[in-house]
Amino acid sequence: MRKICILYIIVTVTIFMPELFAAERPQTIIFTIDLKKEIGSTTWIYIQKGFEQAKESNANAILIHMNTYGGEVLYADSIRTKILNSKLPVYVFVDNNAASAGALIAIACDKIFMRPGSSIGAATVVNQNAERMPDKYQSYMRATMRATAEAHGKDTIVNGNDTTYQWKRNPLIAEAMVDDRTVIPNIIDSGKTLTFTAQEAIKYGYCDGLAENMEEVVEKQLNFSSYKIIAYEPSVWDNLKGYLMNGVFQSFLIMFIIGGIYFELQTPGIGFPLGLAITAALLYFAPLYIDGLAANWEILMFIIGLVLLGLELFVIPGFGIAGISGIILIMAGLILSLVNNVVFDFEKVQSGAVGEALLTVTAGMGLAFGMIIYLSNKIGTKGIFRKMALNTTMETKEGYIGVSMTELKLVGKTGIAATVLRPSGKVSINGVSYDAVSDQSFIEKGTAVRVIRYETGQIYVEEIK
């Protein structure tokens, strides 16, 4: 009877409370990152921080939620490289748009899912005015798109005794998204840049499934029944740092640093130009220092360069080693602060990072010299710069004098050379000693002299024959 009761209890608990006997199922962690703005320094920070947090969260996969019309190629290439080198599988859900740089990032992902009505493609490189860039830029983008598609490898297709290998993502299709000269029979004609709709992307292997939202991607496309979504939430500092580390903004900061220092050197005392230069320098170096890019010695190199340049301008006559060394140190400090080097070890520096840093700094210096030339012609003449310089002519007849005019009455008087004049020295007139300059090359001590003129606070004398 006791055995029957125990068996009855076990059966009842098993039926109505199965979770007590069921083994705890491991939960899949999906880490999501939003890319819903122009691809640039801010989105690059999102990817870097997001991948780090995904690793710390022991995530099983990363899912990018994308809706972008493109952006800067250099940052898109950095994101692409990060995705291709990721140890975690990276998926992307195209929620309407994956254009230009967005298409490059999407193709780098392990799987592409699209919302019905979405599109992907149109990766031609253009400038800020939407004008097509020269072919050397297109060539680089074509090769990058092809290489990204090739990175996913080929599928092995066995048909009877025949075995063929087919690209998972046709590299020629990726190239056609950049170059309107690429022809793919039955897909794209010459003269058109390729852009796929969601259905076309599925047909030609550039989309792995359709979904209405992120949850549908996880449940229906990735087939995860027990999962947890952790979303990357950028901080205020992440967004601010992304703005401050934008290449264009950094060029303007360099312009304000150089221009502020120049105009401060042209004005007496300490004023607004120096404050502007210091503020720009802080905004330039602070995010780089906090992010670990700018080291102490790189900032010190920049400061030493400024000191050397100041010594060359105010202490050392002419322009030589100190000035040239100062300019080199200033540029080196600005450039090295932008790249992820360890002292002089550039192994971890991404390809193109040094060139991008050099372009940013040279562009900033070019803007600075342009601003200097422009403002130098405007200050004191018109507009808001009219009152920044003194244009009034102070005539002597109006009572304005820059030096004492007491010695003017000595003109025509005679005296003797108290010292040798070679050509400067001292003369004695009516028992009073004055600094004087010989109007001739040499006058011996004790020679009789006559004051012939008084200019710019200086007495000029000649020998009395």
* Pick from 338, 334, 308, 335: nearest CA to 323: 308
312 shares its domain with 203: no
The pair of structure tokens assigned to 172 is: 């020629």
Scanning 41-128, the segments in alpha helix (DSSP H) are 41-56, 73-84, 101-108
Question: Is 17 inside a domain boundary?
Answer: no
266 shares its domain with 408: no
232 shares its domain with 254: no
Q: What is the pLDDT of residue 159?
A: 77
Q: What is the pLDDT of residue 235?
A: 85
461 touches 439 (CB < 8 A) = yes
**Residue the block writes with tokens 């359709």:** 210
SS3 content of the chain, % helix, strand, coil (to 5): 45, 20, 35
43 shares its domain with 178: yes
232 shares its domain with 271: no
Residue partners of 329: CB distance under 8 A and separation at least 6: 301, 302, 304, 305, 308
Q: What is the pLDDT of residue 263?
A: 76
* Pick from 137, 62, 72: nearest CA to 104: 72
Domain CATH code at residue 66: 3.90.226.10
Question: Is 90 inside a domain boundary?
Answer: yes
Q: What is the pLDDT of residue 222?
A: 92
Phi-psi region of 417 (alpha: psi -120 to 50; beta: other; left: phi over 0): beta
* Pick from 454, 465, 458: nearest CA to 425: 458
Question: Is 1 inside a domain boundary?
Answer: no
251 shares its domain with 197: no
Cα-trace Rg, the chain: 37
Domain CATH code at residue 417: 2.40.50.140
Question: Is 50 inside a domain boundary?
Answer: yes
Question: Is 7 inside a domain boundary?
Answer: no
Q: Which one of 360, 388, 416 terminates a domain?
A: 388
Question: Is 331 inside a domain boundary?
Answer: yes
Model's pTM, two decimal places? 0.64
Exposure b/e, 280-312, CB count within 10 A at least 16 = b: bbebbbebbbeeebbbeebbebbebbbebbeeb
Number of folded domains that form the chain: 3
339 shares its domain with 436: no
* Pick from 430, 406, 423: nearest CA to 462: 423
Instruction: State how far the alpha carbon of 24 is from the alpha carbons of 21, 61, 164, in Å.
Output: 9, 21, 43
430 shares its domain with 305: no
Q: What is the pLDDT of residue 305?
A: 85
Question: Is 21 inside a domain boundary?
Answer: no
Q: What is the pLDDT of residue 21?
A: 46
Q: What is the pLDDT of residue 60?
A: 94
118 shares its domain with 32: yes
429 shares its domain with 286: no
378 shares its domain with 406: no
Question: Is 11 inside a domain boundary?
Answer: no
Per-residue pLDDT tens digits of the chain, which is 465 residues long: 555 555 555 555 455 555 544 445 568 899 999 999 899 888 988 999 999 999 999 999 999 999 999 888 888 998 999 999 999 999 999 999 999 999 999 999 999 999 999 999 998 888 776 778 888 888 889 999 999 999 999 888 777 778 888 899 999 999 999 988 888 888 888 778 899 999 999 999 999 999 999 999 999 999 988 899 999 998 887 777 777 777 777 788 888 888 887 777 766 656 677 788 888 888 888 877 776 677 788 888 888 888 887 777 667 665 678 878 888 888 888 888 777 766 666 666 665 667 777 877 888 778 777 777 777 666 655 555 555 555 566 665 565 555 666 778 888 899 999 998 878 889 998 888 988 988 877 888 888 999 998 887 788 999 887
Q: Which domain holds residue 433?
A: 396-463
230 shares its domain with 276: no
Q: Which one of 184, 209, 236 terminates a domain?
A: 236
Q: Which one of 206, 236, 266 terminates a domain?
A: 236
